[in-house]
Amino acid sequence: MPGFRAAMKYAYSSTRVKAMESKLIRKEMFERMLAAKEPGSIAAMLLQTDYRQDVERLGGVKAMSTLIDFVLSKNQGRETSKLITIAPKDQRSLVIAIAGVWDIGNIKTAIEAVSSGKSFESVSRYLIDSRYAGSEAIKDAMASKSVEGAMEKLMLKTPYAKQIKNALDTYKKTGSAAEASAALERSYYLQLGATIGKLEMIDAGAADLIRKRIDMRNILTLLETKKHGNDFAKISGYLLPNGSLGSKRLESLFRESRSPEALAENVKAFNLKQAAKEYAESKTKPVLIFEIAMLNEIFAGALRGIRHSVLSFGALIAFLYLKEIEVFTLRVIMKGKGYGLSDQEIKGMISWLK
């Protein structure tokens, strides 16, 4: 049971989080969505949820086949910003740092888009409408038409000046958008390392969720490298710090495994045996199979976390993950129905729902 100080500190934020949680889509509605025959029926169901205002603002049910990504982004961004606002003042910076992963993702998208000559409109559906580097900030940055110009604008307008500068310096040295994106992400996770240390003292479960996410990113890097037959030395600088798997363990995993399937089966941080089997049987060998399996495992952990987090910081972080679970699941169901996937195939991508 939480102590008196915790009860006083988190009473307001926990009450607000519970109210926000009550608006999340429940398992029963997801199951009705899975049973729906077409995406339009699912979009109609969204009118009964917290997504209603975004569906109506963006053209209604008929527009959802093309605009669903925008609806999900707007809602996720708004709820994340709300969570930052209600966090205890002395811990708000922690929530901002953790939620910053979506800002960093948006900045990476901008870097890669400008580098390849893509327009803002062509990537806007993939942006999370996050607090500091949301759609408007990215649109303004991309208007500069150069990678350097876009990053310089974002350095001035977001709290990620140090991370973006590292990316900019890397781009100037290499001329590679991929290298710049990797430098940005690595710099972000280096900064997050200090946050994890503080978070460990406040809520160990929340810290574990973040480490798990870092482990997932590193394992995906190893799997992609193994799939394409590249050497570990080429990607060692891309591995992210502060996960539960250290650099030596990641290297030994890579060198001891002859194939992506073998590497996945040797990973102890996640249960990837079924994913390895599906990968081996697939003709195209998509690493996405492993990403979906790991995301579902992280989501299941977040669900357990919020059930046991009462009047604690962990409840705030767990909600971030619950919202991501919801958005991920809606996207999988809508896209799956649109592409004509069977209910069984869609269920396989959202195993947390079991």
Residue 1, pLDDT > 70, answer no
Tell me the pLDDT band of 311, cut-offs 50, 70 and 90: low
Residue 119, pLDDT > 60, answer yes
Mean pLDDT, rounded, for 330-351: 89
| Residue 281 included in any domain | no
Q: What percent of the chain shows pLDDT beyond 70?
A: 95
Tell me the pLDDT band of 106, cut-offs 50, 70 and 90: very high
| Residue 183 included in any domain | yes
Tell me the pLDDT band of 309, cut-offs 50, 70 and 90: low
Tell me the pLDDT band of 8, cut-offs 50, 70 and 90: low
Q: What is the pLDDT of residues 204-229, one digit of tens each?
A: 888 888 899 899 999 999 999 999 99
| Residue 187 included in any domain | yes
> Cα–Cα distance between 298 and 205 in angstroms, integer?
12
Q: Quick one: pLDDT at residue 133?
A: 95
| Residue 253 included in any domain | no
- Whether 247 and 255 have beta carbons less than 8 Å apart is answered as no
Burial 247-264 (b: 16+ CB within 10 A, else e): eeebeebbeebeebbebb
- Whether 155 and 165 have beta carbons less than 8 Å apart is answered as yes
| Residue 209 included in any domain | no
| Residue 351 included in any domain | no
Residue 136, pLDDT > 90, answer yes
CATH of the domain at 131: 1.20.1690
Residue 156, pLDDT > 90, answer yes
Mean pLDDT, rounded, for 287-305: 86
| Domain boundaries, position 115 | 87-198
Q: Quick one: pLDDT at residue 305?
A: 65
Q: Quick one: pLDDT at residue 338?
A: 87
Higher pLDDT, 318 or 106: 106
| Residue 54 included in any domain | no
Q: What is the DSSP letter of 217?
A: H
- Whether 20 and 319 have beta carbons less than 8 Å apart is answered as yes
The total domain count for the chain is 1
